[in-house]
A and B are shown apart, each in its own frame.
Chain A
């Protein structure tokens, strides 16, 4: 029976949970194919070394070994190198990345050979016996050193300085000369290792006689992988099926197309059997992309009152040894949001991308926007100290006033809507800002060993990637549309086939809620299929907080098509005019005669058996919509972090963390809050704990979870979450997206709080992560810079 109950806006429990709670999940590691061989990758222990020869004979003789291949052995398999889809400038230099390297290794972890064996242990044992004749070279991982080209990593490019992109500026650049106040700061953003708890894995299954392949991969991007791997591996797209089964987190690290995916495919073709690879965690630290790795010089211009009027930024960005899918595009993404929520009159941003002997970098939660927000919000606090004002006041007087229609920002893009001061006031009220300042003052006067710090971060974020025409203008190779097919089945239930690819973000539940409100059935009766290019062939996958704003809008338009077709059929069956029909809870009824009604389920049956359809109507109640967003979406908000810093040990404890975010319309509050929790936790980790460190030979020193500090529950506070809802003008649902916002907002809130705790003791700068050592050194006169 059709129901009138509505689900959008409610925290219904997740449809995804039962298999995940009971150990029935289908992660790639859990899947096998008959006769499959295991692959192990032989990787360079050196950050930079020539390969003078490889002897595979001992490895090949090991028990269970099927084959050993070097780069030279596989050269004929490739239709092209690993995909790089964003040449952001015309004169960009491209460090070409093949799945195995032949002449030299350029980062610790660079793959040089593969071993195939009957078992994983046999493959890994044999991989240790592949003998590579290395001639080590000088390595460089320091960004500014690399830019000097003392050690050139790609001889064919002649330089490590591979790309320079300028936003072009907006507004009146003379402001930087004439402003009352200009704050100049330099900030380092170290490399981060994404650490999704599931490492990468892939399984390629061939049907050799048909030239068909199925690739099962722990990926965020099955559709993009299919298109690009087809080219790299010389497989027609129509013969390649890519499946992302259950995927254990990504955060951007699985938004990529990797050497191992290409290798298992061509090896499956070569060996005519399935090939599987599972990454170890230590391997993941070398072989999976890193995030961030940046140095910023920023100038923030303001009036004597502290009203922010302009920002000028120059960035150096660490590309790593090769480009992966998007690498130089990541700083550029941030290049549009350095103005934040402030009403500025001048804008300038440029960056230089530099190759180093380290793991390639690419998108990691926020992808450019955390970098921008950190630089801006740190500078805003520096400005407040310079003009002698409360950092809350400086922000308040600088916000763009509330706007409900799209407005062009100083960086040139249209921001869909914003209510920055409203969100800000809410955050301060919830936190009890004035009482906190009083407590801080009390502790300062009494010289407490544990000082209190309050850190603010008011942010915007640019997501909902993306209008395809803008992507084209930015020289990105793909589009930003997404798709949904709605099928109303004869049994009264429904199936959605979606183009996004969830890996923890609850798309199944969220889309089911939206569809339930139209179809008049419960979310339990709606199956949502995703992540398989043979089942849901249309899509552009999940990243850039795009899924609800682009993907769920495609669902909305597919539902509109269903309603339109169903209305025509209902009118035909009820012998009424379409205008005389009302629709609610999945039911069409004649106005004034509610007994004369047809539900969507009834109409699905009629449409299926097609015994009596109106002229020109195709059988089946099914519709597909593909939607290309006309604009990005722009969440925003204010986060406030309260810390206690032990001035003897340098240790920071978070006493309270308040996040007030505006992501437009909220479909499921519980799920949205969960995204904020997780995002904030990763940002707190960025601020206090995480840093990938290389030594001067390019060895990754933080090479496992015992040295790279992924925080546990003991390092995290509980979060206080609230929101405002200012609908987006970009899509009819009014949704903006929330997946990355927490990670974008939080690092400066935390670092600002620690500095705020110690500002009265003369500390004005600390680099992240703000370790106890850095705090201690800052208090004892040594600059709070690199520890």
Chain B
């Protein structure tokens, strides 16, 4: 077993886990934060995307132990004091989700991307989403949501 101490959504969390435990299962099962989803086993789909020290990471491709001592933000940590994050609101306004399973990963990837590039073109947004698969929306409204979020604010914080 190995000890993992992580700050998740601003709260210090600590647990003993098997060294092979992936970050996504640490979040979901050890910490009970089930908002981050598992959609594949080849790091292809991006449903598991979270922020680690502000950078978007596929949490299925990282060991919990590698997150030791770091700051993790999950979908549960985006809204503050009951107020939705601008990206969450933009997804709602633009029907950027249907079944919702890819949505947390999409939103976290978008949050990170808009920090890097606050005023992207449609093509840039599509490229930025290459690691996040959706089967319901055809991406049309997801792209629209992210462009809308970008136009609402610049320098959106994750």
Chain B associates with chain A: yes
Q: Does B49 contact A (CB under 8 A)?
A: no
Q: Whose C-beta in chain B lies nearest to the C-beta of A121?
A: B18
- Whole-angstrom distance between the Cβ of B98 and the nearest chain A Cβ: 4
Judge whether A197 and B102 touch: CB under 8 Å.
yes
Instruction: Tell whether A504 pairs with B136 under 8 Å between CB atoms, given A17-B97, A21-B84, A29-B38.
Output: yes
Judge whether B97 and A21 touch: CB under 8 Å.
yes
A16–B91 CA distance with the chains assembled, in angstroms: 12
A719–B95 CA distance with the chains assembled, in angstroms: 15
Chain A residues in 8 Å Cβ range of B104:
23
Q: Does A85 contact B (CB under 8 A)?
A: no
Instruction: Tell whether A197 pairs with B42 under 8 Å between CB atoms, given A713-B130, A713-B139.
Output: no
Chain B interface, number of residues (Cβ within 8 angstroms): 54
Judge whether B141 and A677 touch: CB under 8 Å.
yes
A187–B100 CA distance with the chains assembled, in angstroms: 36
Q: Does A577 contact B (CB under 8 A)?
A: no
Instruction: Tell whether A705 pairs with B92 under 8 Å between CB atoms, given A199-B39, A678-B138, A713-B129.
Output: no
Stretch with Cβ within 8 A of A (4 or more), from B51-59, B72-80, B149-157: B72-80
Q: Does A670 contact B (CB under 8 A)?
A: yes
Q: Does B81 contact A (CB under 8 A)?
A: no
Judge whether A29 and B98 touch: CB under 8 Å.
no
Judge whether A248 and B99 touch: CB under 8 Å.
yes
Judge whether B127 and A714 touch: CB under 8 Å.
yes
A121–B30 CA distance with the chains assembled, in angstroms: 13
Instruction: Tell whether A714 pairs with B130 under 8 Å between CB atoms, given A22-B79, A23-B34, A249-B136.
Output: yes
Chain A residues in 8 Å Cβ range of B126:
712-714, 716
Q: Whose C-beta in chain A lies nearest to the C-beta of B79?
A: A22
Chain A residues in 8 Å Cβ range of B76:
22-24
A198–B28 CA distance with the chains assembled, in angstroms: 15
Q: Does B125 contact A (CB under 8 A)?
A: yes
A504–B42 CA distance with the chains assembled, in angstroms: 24
Chain A residues in 8 Å Cβ range of B132:
712-713
Q: Does A20 contact B (CB under 8 A)?
A: yes
Chain A residues in 8 Å Cβ range of B28:
30
Within 8 A of B (CB), among A203-255: 246-249, 251
Q: Mark contacts of B114-144 with chain A using CB atoms, 8 A cut-off: 1 yes-contact digit, 0 otherwise.
A: 0000000010011101111111111111110
- Whole-angstrom distance between the Cβ of A68 and the nearest chain B Cβ: 22
Judge whether A705 and B133 touch: CB under 8 Å.
yes
Chain B residues in 8 Å Cβ range of A19:
100
Judge whether B101 and A705 touch: CB under 8 Å.
no
Q: Whose C-beta in chain B lies nearest to the C-beta of A251?
A: B135
Judge whether B100 and A22 touch: CB under 8 Å.
no
Chain A residues in 8 Å Cβ range of B133:
197, 705, 710, 712
Judge whether B100 and A504 touch: CB under 8 Å.
yes
Judge whether A282 and B36 touch: CB under 8 Å.
no
Judge whether A198 and B99 touch: CB under 8 Å.
yes
Q: Does A731 contact B (CB under 8 A)?
A: no
Chain A residues in 8 Å Cβ range of B40:
281, 704-705
- Whole-angstrom distance between the Cβ of A781 and the nearest chain B Cβ: 34
Within 8 A of B (CB), among A634-692: 670-671, 674, 677-682
Chain A residues in 8 Å Cβ range of B135:
194-197, 249, 251, 678, 682, 710
Judge whether B91 and A21 touch: CB under 8 Å.
yes
Q: Whose C-beta in chain B lies nearest to the C-beta of A683?
A: B138
Q: Does B63 contact A (CB under 8 A)?
A: no
A17–B75 CA distance with the chains assembled, in angstroms: 14
Chain A residues in 8 Å Cβ range of B127:
713-714
The residue that A249 contacts in the complex, of B79, B95, B99, with Cβ under 8 A, is B99
Judge whether B100 and A674 touch: CB under 8 Å.
no
Instruction: Tell whether A197 pairs with B134 under 8 Å between CB atoms, given A17-B97, A20-B100.
Output: yes
Chain A residues in 8 Å Cβ range of B88:
21-22
Q: Does A426 contact B (CB under 8 A)?
A: no
A21–B104 CA distance with the chains assembled, in angstroms: 7
The residue that B98 contacts in the complex, of A199, A506, A704, with Cβ under 8 A, is A506
Judge whether A678 and B102 touch: CB under 8 Å.
no
A29–B25 CA distance with the chains assembled, in angstroms: 11
A778–B73 CA distance with the chains assembled, in angstroms: 50
- Whole-angstrom distance between the Cβ of A1 and the nearest chain B Cβ: 27
Residue of A21, A248, A674 contacting most chain B CB atoms (<10 Å): A21
Instruction: Tell whether A248 pairs with B101 under 8 Å between CB atoms, given A670-B95, A677-B138.
Output: yes
Chain A residues in 8 Å Cβ range of B140:
674, 677, 681, 716, 718-719
Q: Does A27 contact B (CB under 8 A)?
A: yes
Q: Whose C-beta in chain A lies nearest to the C-beta of B21?
A: A121
Chain A interface, number of residues (Cβ within 8 angstroms): 55
The residue that B138 contacts in the complex, of A671, A680, A705, with Cβ under 8 A, is A680
Judge whether B139 and A23 touch: CB under 8 Å.
no
Judge whether B103 and A20 touch: CB under 8 Å.
yes
Judge whether A13 and B93 touch: CB under 8 Å.
yes
Chain B residues in 8 Å Cβ range of A197:
37, 39, 45, 47, 99, 101-102, 133-136
Judge whether A20 and B97 touch: CB under 8 Å.
yes
Q: Mark contacts of A5-25 with chain B using CB atoms, 8 A cut-off: 1 yes-contact digit, 0 otherwise.
A: 000000101101111111111
- Whole-angstrom distance between the Cβ of A41 and the nearest chain B Cβ: 15
Chain A residues in 8 Å Cβ range of B34:
23, 27, 29-30
Q: Does A505 contact B (CB under 8 A)?
A: yes
Q: Does A178 contact B (CB under 8 A)?
A: no
Q: Does A503 contact B (CB under 8 A)?
A: yes
Judge whether B41 and A249 touch: CB under 8 Å.
no
The residue that A704 contacts in the complex, of B44, B79, B84, B138, with Cβ under 8 A, is B44
Judge whether B42 and A704 touch: CB under 8 Å.
yes
Judge whether B92 and A248 touch: CB under 8 Å.
no
The residue that B44 contacts in the complex, of A17, A23, A246, A706, with Cβ under 8 A, is A706
Instruction: Tell whether A14 pairs with B95 under 8 Å between CB atoms, given A197-B45, A710-B133.
Output: yes
Q: Does A534 contact B (CB under 8 A)?
A: no
Chain A residues in 8 Å Cβ range of B122:
718
- Whole-angstrom distance between the Cβ of A323 and the nearest chain B Cβ: 25
Q: Whose C-beta in chain B lies nearest to the C-beta of A712?
A: B130
Judge whether B98 and A504 touch: CB under 8 Å.
yes
Q: Whose C-beta in chain A lies nearest to the C-beta of B94?
A: A670
- Whole-angstrom distance between the Cβ of B102 and the nearest chain A Cβ: 5
Judge whether B99 and A504 touch: CB under 8 Å.
yes
A23–B125 CA distance with the chains assembled, in angstroms: 23
Q: Whose C-beta in chain B lies nearest to the C-beta of A17?
A: B92
Chain A residues in 8 Å Cβ range of B18:
121
Q: Does A280 contact B (CB under 8 A)?
A: yes
A378–B45 CA distance with the chains assembled, in angstroms: 33
Q: Whose C-beta in chain A lies nearest to the C-beta of B101?
A: A248
Q: Whose C-beta in chain B lies nearest to the C-beta of A679?
A: B138
Chain A residues in 8 Å Cβ range of B98:
249, 504-506, 674, 678
Within 8 A of B (CB), among A690-734: 704-706, 710, 712-714, 716, 718-719
Chain B residues in 8 Å Cβ range of A716:
126, 138-140
- Whole-angstrom distance between the Cβ of B85 and the nearest chain A Cβ: 9
Judge whether B92 and A21 touch: CB under 8 Å.
yes
Q: Whose C-beta in chain A lies nearest to the C-beta of B20?
A: A121
Instruction: Tell whether A503 pairs with B99 under 8 Å between CB atoms, given A23-B35, A713-B130, A718-B143.
Output: yes
Q: Which 6 A-B pairs have CB atoms at the shortest separation, nearest pair first? A: A23-B35, A20-B100, A248-B101, A681-B138, A504-B99, A705-B44
CB-defined A-B contacts under 8 Å, sample of 7: A23-B76, A249-B135, A682-B138, A712-B129, A712-B133, A716-B126, A742-B138
Given contacts A195-B135, A505-B98, A712-B130, 4 further A-B contacts (CB under 8 A): A21-B75, A199-B39, A671-B95, A714-B130
Report B's interface with A, CB cutoff 8 A. Answer: 18, 28, 33-42, 44-45, 47, 74-76, 78-79, 84, 88, 91-93, 95, 97-104, 107, 122, 125-127, 129-143
Report A's interface with B, CB cutoff 8 A. Answer: 11, 13-14, 16-25, 27, 29-30, 121, 194-199, 246-249, 251, 280-282, 503-506, 670-671, 674, 677-682, 704-706, 710, 712-714, 716, 718-719, 742
